């Protein structure tokens, strides 16, 4: 087994106030990176600026990170943080902001970086210290060494580097209350996708499978509530948040499988939220593993005492109605993207590009 995860995880309601002393330890100037509304609507931005004011820490705010952030915006935020002479950066938002803040922290310490150099991971200086405050409960980006960005060609492409780990992450589940219902469901189903894609993965280990099993165990009943459009209470929200962190820890070890890499295309071209786009293929993963590795698949569902068909129905019921069917031409144009693709190769077993072709035809 091999695992390195240096981020200090602090979760729970009111967690920022409880551990506010970490902020002055990081310096006197803070650059805040966020998006249009999540920081403000969640209350996280107000809580953060109150702490910064209390310790007379100067700050400036960049609030132009969009969903599926562009590399261009990460560079802009990083350069601004550099000009501001930030001692540290705080990212406040959903997975998009957290991912963007990781790359921006690298750029803040290496302002000459271009998109090409970022993807080559050719930087010299260690990034500016980073704190992440999540406002969604799904990506687990708080604890991963991954930054997913949209490149100049409009393609979602990630970098993986130990330099991208945050120093601290504050997870206050109350910041997720303000999420609109479709974002809440999409992010929760993203967490399930991570937990499953990590389990049914050629790189899984005893450690990653422990994260996956416990994550699914606690998340599943909450997904059942979401499917019934029931409000989540404080304990439910904390459970979903914790499951998303377990998902992040799991995929940090294994990476994701074909569902995520296919999902990216459906976000790029059909503007589906990330969680929904990836979960379009979760049932295909469960079928593939059931048909090809029945013992491994059955053992997973036996341990969890969850019925496989019931899980598939639940996933379908959480997905939005879509009219997406790919033409044969579109499928053939897409397939080169999945030849020699690491996420396809990671799928537990020996998945081929022909399997992907069939999956896309069934959509
Ligand atoms: P998101 O893209 O960060 O946010 C989705 C939408 O929800 C945005 O419109 C945002 O509004 C809104 N929102 C977020 N929090 C809110 C809150 N508390 N109240 C009200 N509105 C809120 O969603 P996400 O699913 O968390 O992140 C998806 C991104 O993460 C994708 O780019 C995906 O590729 C990436 N990802 C990364 C990893 C990793 O390991 N690094 C893992 C999985 C996914 P505003 O934009 O207006 O603020
Ligand atoms: Fe994801």
Tell me the mean pLDDT in the region 97-124.
98
Using CA atoms, how far apart are residues 338 and 262, in angstroms rounded to an integer? Answer: 8
Query: Could you report the per-residue pLDDT of 177-236, keeping only the tens digit for each?
Result: 999 999 999 999 999 999 999 999 999 999 999 999 999 999 999 999 999 999 999 999
- The pTM assigned to this predicted structure is 0.98
Q: What is the per-residue pLDDT for 2?
A: 81
Please report the DSSP string for 94-161 in residue order.
SHHHHHHHHHHHHHHH-TT--HHHHHHT---SPPPPEEEEESSSS--GGG-SEEEEE-TTS-EEEEE-
| In the chain, beta strands by DSSP E | 8-11, 29-35, 58-65, 88-93, 130-134, 146-150, 156-160, 168-171
Using CA atoms, how far apart are residues 282 and 192, in angstroms rounded to an integer? Answer: 9
| In 151-230, beta strands by DSSP E | 156-160, 168-171
pLDDT at 359 over 90: yes
Q: Where are the domains of the chain?
A: 8-176, 181-362
Query: Could you report the per-residue pLDDT of 24-63, keeping only the tens digit for each?
Result: 999 999 999 999 999 999 999 999 999 999 999 999 999 9
H/E run at residue 363: none
Tell me the mean pLDDT in the region 319-332.
94
Could you tell me which CATH number the domain at 8-176 has? 3.40.50.1970
**Total number of residues shown for the chain:** 363
Query: Could you report the per-residue pLDDT of 183-198, keeping only the tens digit for each?
Result: 999 999 999 999 999 9
Distance (angstroms) between ligand 2 centre and the Cα of 184 equals 13
Strand partners, 169: 9, 132
Q: Is 173 in the pocket of ligand 1 (CB under 6 A)?
A: no
Closest CA to 196 of 161, 227, 220: 220
Residue minimizing CA distance to atom 3 of ligand 1? 94
Closest CA to 282 of 232, 240, 223: 223
Residue minimizing CA distance to atom 43 of ligand 1? 139
Pocket test for ligand 1, best of 65, 274, 343 (most atoms within 8 A of CB): 274
Tell me the mean pLDDT in the region 270-293.
98
Q: What is the per-residue pLDDT for 300?
A: 98
Tokens of 202: 């050629």
Q: Are 150 and 70 in contact (CB under 8 A)?
A: yes
70: exposed, middle or buried (Cβ count in 10 Å: 0-12, 13-18, 19+): middle
The band of 249, judged by pLDDT with boundaries at 50, 70 and 90, is: very high
Distance (angstroms) between ligand 1 centre and the Cα of 358 equals 30
pLDDT at 101 over 90: yes
Q: What is the per-residue pLDDT for 236?
A: 98
> Mean pLDDT score of the chain, rounded to an integer?
97
Whether 8-176 shares its CATH topology with 181-362 is answered no
Distance (angstroms) between ligand 1 centre and the Cα of 24 equals 28
Q: Is 103 in the pocket of ligand 1 (CB under 6 A)?
A: no
Q: Is 141 in the pocket of ligand 1 (CB under 6 A)?
A: yes
Could you tell me which CATH number the domain at 181-362 has? 1.20.1090.10
- Residue 179's SS3 state is coil
Q: Is 67 in the pocket of ligand 1 (CB under 6 A)?
A: yes
Q: What is the per-residue pLDDT for 1?
A: 83
Q: Is 169 in the pocket of ligand 1 (CB under 6 A)?
A: no
């Amino acid at each position: 087994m091999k695992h390195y995860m240096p981020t200090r995880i602090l979760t729970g309601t009111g967690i920022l106030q409880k551990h506010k002393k970490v902020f002055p330890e990081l310096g006197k100037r803070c650059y805040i990176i966020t998006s249009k509304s999540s920081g403000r609507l969640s209350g996280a931005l107000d809580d953060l600026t109150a702490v910064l004011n209390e310790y007379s820490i100067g700050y400036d705010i960049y609030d132009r990170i969009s969903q599926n952030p562009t590399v261009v915006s990460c560079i802009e935020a990083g350069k601004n943080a550099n000009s501001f002479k930030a001692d540290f950066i705080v990212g406040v938002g959903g997975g998009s902001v957290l991912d963007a803040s990781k790359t921006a922290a690298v750029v803040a310490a290496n302002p000459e970086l271009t998109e090409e150099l970022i993807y080559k991971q050719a930087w010299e200086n260690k990034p500016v210290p980073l704190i992440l405050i999540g406002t969604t409960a799904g990506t687990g980006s708080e604890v991963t060494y991954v930054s997913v960005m949209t490149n100049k060609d409009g393609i979602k492409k990630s970098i993986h580097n130990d330099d991208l780990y945050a120093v601290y992450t504050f997870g206050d589940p109350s910041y997720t209350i303000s999420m609109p219902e479709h974002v809440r469901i999409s992010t929760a189903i993203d967490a399930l996708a991570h937990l499953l894609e990590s389990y049914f993965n050629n790189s899984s280990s005893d450690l990653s499978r422990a994260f996956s099993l416990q994550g699914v165990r606690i998340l599943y009943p909450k997904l059942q509530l979401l499917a019934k459009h029931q409000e989540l209470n404080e304990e439910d929200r904390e459970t979903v948040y914790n499951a998303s962190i377990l998902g992040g820890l799991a995929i940090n070890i294994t990476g994701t499988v074909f569902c995520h890499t296919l999902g990216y295309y459906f976000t790029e071209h059909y503007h589906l939220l990330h969680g929904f786009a990836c979960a379009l293929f979760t049932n295909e993963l469960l079928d593939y593993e059931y048909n090809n590795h029945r013992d491994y698949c059955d053992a997973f569902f036996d341990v969890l005492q969850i019925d496989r068909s019931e899980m598939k129905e639940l996933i379908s019921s959480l997905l939005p109605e879509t009219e997406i069917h790919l033409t044969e031409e579109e499928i053939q144009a897409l397939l080169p993207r999945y030849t020699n693709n690491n996420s396809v190769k990671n799928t537990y077993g020996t998945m081929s590009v022909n399997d992907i072709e069939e999956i896309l035809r069934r959509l």
